[in-house]
Amino acid sequence: MPAMQEFTLRVRRYDPESGEAPYWAEHTIELEPHRSVLEGLLQAKARFDGSIGVRCSCRAAICGSCGVRINGKPGLACHTHLDKAQASSQTGDGVITVEPMGNMPVIKDLIVDMDAVHWKKVQRVTPWLIAKEPVPEREYVVDRESMVDVTQSMACIQCGACVSDCLSMEIDPLFIGPAALAKAYRFVGDPRDDQQFERLQDLAEDPHGIYDCTHCFKCIDACPKGVAPMNQIMRLRRRAGDDYKINDRNNGNRHERAFVTLIRDYGLLHEAELLPRSYGGDSWFGKFHPAAGQEMLDSLPVVTKMLLRRKATPKKAIFGHKIPKDDLNAVKRIYETVEDRDDRYELNLYISGYDEDSEEPAPEQSATAESGGEGMTAAENGQPGMEPEDSPTREESDPEGEPTS
Amino acid sequence: MKVAYWPGCVSRGFTPELHGSMAKVAPLLDIELVELDRACCTGAGVIAEHNQELADTLNARTFALAQSVEGAELMMNICSTCQGAQTECQERLDANAEYRAHVNSTLSAEGLSYEKGLTNKNFLWLLVEEIGLDELRSRVRRPLTNLRVGPFYGCYIVRPYDRLGISSDLPRDTYLAQVIEALGGTVIEYAGSHKCCGFPIITMNKEASLKQAGRHLGDAVDAEADCLVTPCPLCHLNLDLQQPLAERVTGRNLNMPVLHLPQLVGLALGLEPKDLGFARHVVKPSTVIDWSTSVVAGVGAGSSSGGW
């Protein structure tokens, strides 16, 4: 058995009902280094101060109750080893800082109000299956691929770590947010659901919906289960814009269309065209649309400064820049080849895994290896780091054995 | 060292001073830039959002072009967003031989093929990992003494850390601070250094986008930074170009100059501010340099006597 070791926890204490300001309390606990931060907190609570507020249940990284910020980063207290936490200390003296999660009000100490933010937002996306009619007498039969597609979003344990760190929500608290939108994809991607279009339209037209995500990757790093909520949001956009042609009022789809078209036509981004087209529509005439005019007017101080400082010359603003003709043709050929396919070819590494012959271990694989025993085993179905041949998509397709509801 | 150089779109579009200053700085660091002028936009995540295979194929083409540059040690970019978008595509291409072959079959029409394992580094990574901070320090001609610089990384170059290879052994999310220090400047810590500038949603939720930019700029003002420095031209657009609008949304005067990384390096290596394109910024870097005397920070700062 490994020797006991001392660790110092610096816990943020706050009781809103007391009327007193938050403060830090330090406790030195004694445990084996491979034990979890949660065990450390519980020992501090038992030995030194029974009033420390912390929520926990399973202690095995599956119930999602003990989401906290450790050394500034969100995670599960039961899923973080004391020695690892000590190594990532930001204080310089190995002290482990434990704070409540962000973007949610504190109830007491490390306990945040998940109902006020997280669960409310999850409810917002109608988090249940709306069955297709007629309901079959026995089970729905769906093809394997389409269910595999939603396994990543199904791995969510609702811990709120992604909500805690969402940079869009920090600025716009109305943003539906990463956890709820990942949940939305779980049903939008489910072939048994009857209201995929309605769901997507709702989320695309909401000014705080799928187009309010800034691509900051915070939720991808925050998630202890590899759900990559941002990737699910991108899938929602792809479905909304490309499959259902939802031309939302937030310019989300217009912006994407304009961007994609401009790269096909110029090879490089033509910024002066992108902006008006994002508002006015994806064609050369987009800039003459009233919405584009309004935007230009609104941005007049910026446009004037740009021209004054010669950031953009009128010539460049009108004609943009292009890559050589032969190369532009090559780019157009790639567009034609790929966009002519009947189905989009998408590779989800979470599901397909990494080739064995990778000289360097694939990033997520090495992360799993390093954190071995932290509750997430590589053999778990649909986990990052699994070998390709173990993956559900690589199994021999057996039409008789399709998953059912 | 010889590098296959991908400048990106915006550095040749709305932030021409970035591409220009990189070209001036490269010889001072013995970097030979072979520009990939045949390559197309990385898609900045937007093409991948539309069609993953399309983004992967377009970027595989760029990687293949980079690999065909004779004698180049690696590929270098000067845009956080390019780094992130390219690394995302490369991760998929490198992970799965079958997928790589599929993408290469599209490229074969042009006689191109991407071979797994390209090294692609932002100028920031190249400075620290290839050139080295000691070497950089030894080449400084005009130390940025007393210049208080806030780093602004850009999301795509610091997250997700697994994909970008960030770890305690490779702390790429601290490089900007290390470079500022090596150039003799003072690193300013403020809340926004690793946050999102808001640019990706400027056309979708303009208010939230500008609030993000305004908040980080305001935090830097409160921390008494003289300027920010960023390796990302898209962040530069929201932080500098849109700063007048960010001021309007946040209701405070910001007046925070934002420098491109090669500009900051160039300044320390002794280049003239005029040659680094400072005149093209929306927010004049008068707190950084006195235009008339080219004195950096400390002496002369705040007494910008015309000439802009």
Find chain A residues with C-beta within 8 A of B203's C-beta. Answer: 251, 255, 275, 278-279
Which pLDDT tens digit goes with each residue over B52-105? Answer: 999 999 999 999 999 999 999 999 999 999 999 999 999 999 999 999 999 999
Q: Is the pLDDT of residue B303 over 50?
A: no
In the three-class reduction of DSSP (H, G, I as helix; E, B as strand; rest coil), residue B153 is classed as coil
In the three-class reduction of DSSP (H, G, I as helix; E, B as strand; rest coil), residue B2 is classed as strand
Query: Chain B: nearest CA to A136, how far in angstroms?
Result: 34
Name the token pair of A95: 């002290």
* Mean pLDDT on B195-215: 96
Count CA atoms within 13 Å of residue B237 on its CB side.
26
Q: Which amino acid does the sequence have at B14? A: F
Q: Does A364 lie at the interface with B, CB-CB under 8 angstroms?
A: yes
ipTM of this model?
A: 0.92
Distance separating alpha carbons of residues B6 and B12, to the nearest angstrom: 11
Q: Does B16 lie at the interface with A, CB-CB under 8 angstroms?
A: yes
Distance separating alpha carbons of residues B181 and B176, to the nearest angstrom: 9
Which pLDDT tens digit goes with each residue over B219-260? Answer: 999 999 999 999 999 999 999 999 999 999 999 999 999 999
Q: Is the pLDDT of residue A383 over 70?
A: no
Could A88 and B168 be called an inter-chain contact, meaning their C-beta atoms sit closer than 8 Å?
Answer: yes
What band does A400 get if pLDDT is binned at 50, 70 and 90?
Answer: very low
pLDDT of residue A298: 82
Q: Does A151 lie at the interface with B, CB-CB under 8 angstroms?
A: no
Burial of B94 (0-12, 13-18, 19+ CB in 10 A): buried
CA distances from A6 to A30, A38, A89 (A): 4, 15, 15
- For residue A82, what is the enclosing H or E element? helix A82-87
pTM: predicted TM-score of the whole model, two decimal places:
0.89
Which pLDDT tens digit goes with each residue over A310-332? Answer: 777 777 777 788 999 999 999 99
Query: Chain A: nearest CA to B209, how far in angstroms?
Result: 8
Q: Does B162 lie at the interface with A, CB-CB under 8 angstroms?
A: yes
Find chain A residues with C-beta within 8 A of B276's C-beta. Answer: none
Which pLDDT tens digit goes with each residue over B166-183? Answer: 998 999 999 999 999 999
Per the CB < 8 A criterion, the answer to whether A41 and A55 are in contact is no
Q: Is the pLDDT of residue B133 over 50?
A: yes
Q: Which three-class secondary structure string do you get for A90-147?
A: CCCCCCEEEECCCCCCEEECCEECCHHHHHHHHHHCCCCCCECCCCCCCCCECCHHHH
Find chain B residues with C-beta within 8 A of A316's C-beta. Answer: 13
Backbone angles phi, psi at B117, to 5 degrees: 100, 25
Q: Is the pLDDT of residue A370 over 90?
A: no
Find chain A residues with C-beta within 8 A of B15's C-beta. Answer: 311
Determine if the peptide bond prior to A403 is cis (ω within 30°).
Answer: no
Which residues, at least 6 apart from A120, have a Cβ–Cβ distance to it below 8 Å? none
Which pLDDT tens digit goes with each residue over A6-62? Answer: 999 999 999 999 999 999 999 999 999 999 999 999 999 999 999 999 999 999 999
Q: Does B170 lie at the interface with A, CB-CB under 8 angstroms?
A: no
The sign one gets for the Cα dihedral B297, B303, B306, B308 is positive
Q: Strands of B70-123 (E only): list them.
A: 74-77, 120-122
Could A255 and B46 be called an inter-chain contact, meaning their C-beta atoms sit closer than 8 Å?
Answer: yes
Name the token pair of B155: 């999301």
Could B241 and A215 be called an inter-chain contact, meaning their C-beta atoms sit closer than 8 Å?
Answer: no
- DSSP 8-state code for residue A4: P
Per the CB < 8 A criterion, the answer to whether B207 and B218 are in contact is no
What band does A76 get if pLDDT is binned at 50, 70 and 90?
Answer: very high
pLDDT of residue A307: 79
Which pLDDT tens digit goes with each residue over A143-175? Answer: 888 888 899 999 999 999 999 999 999 999 999
Burial of B37 (0-12, 13-18, 19+ CB in 10 A): middle
Which pLDDT tens digit goes with each residue over B283-300? Answer: 988 877 765 455 665 443
Cβ-Cβ contacts under 8 Å between A and B: the total is 224
- DSSP 8-state code for residue A18: G
Q: What angle do CA A396, A399, A404 make, to 5 degrees?
A: 110
Find chain B residues with C-beta within 8 A of A259's C-beta. Answer: 43-44, 46-47, 50
CA distances from A351 to A16, A344, A373 (A): 44, 16, 21
Q: Which residue among B45, B117, B205 sits closest to A215, beta carbon to beta carbon?
A: B45
CA distances from B129 to A6, B3, B31, B121, B260 (A): 36, 14, 14, 9, 19
Q: Is the pLDDT of residue A198 over 50?
A: yes
* Mean pLDDT on A206-215: 96
pLDDT cut 90: percent of chain A above it: 67
* Mean pLDDT on A244-253: 95
pLDDT of residue A358: 58
Phi-psi region for residue B146, left (φ > 0), alpha (ψ -120 to 50) or beta? Answer: left
- Best of A343, A345, A351, A366 to substitute, by most chain B Cβ atoms within 10 angstroms, is A345
pLDDT of residue A146: 84
Distance separating alpha carbons of residues B212 and B263, to the nearest angstrom: 24
* Mean pLDDT on B124-152: 96
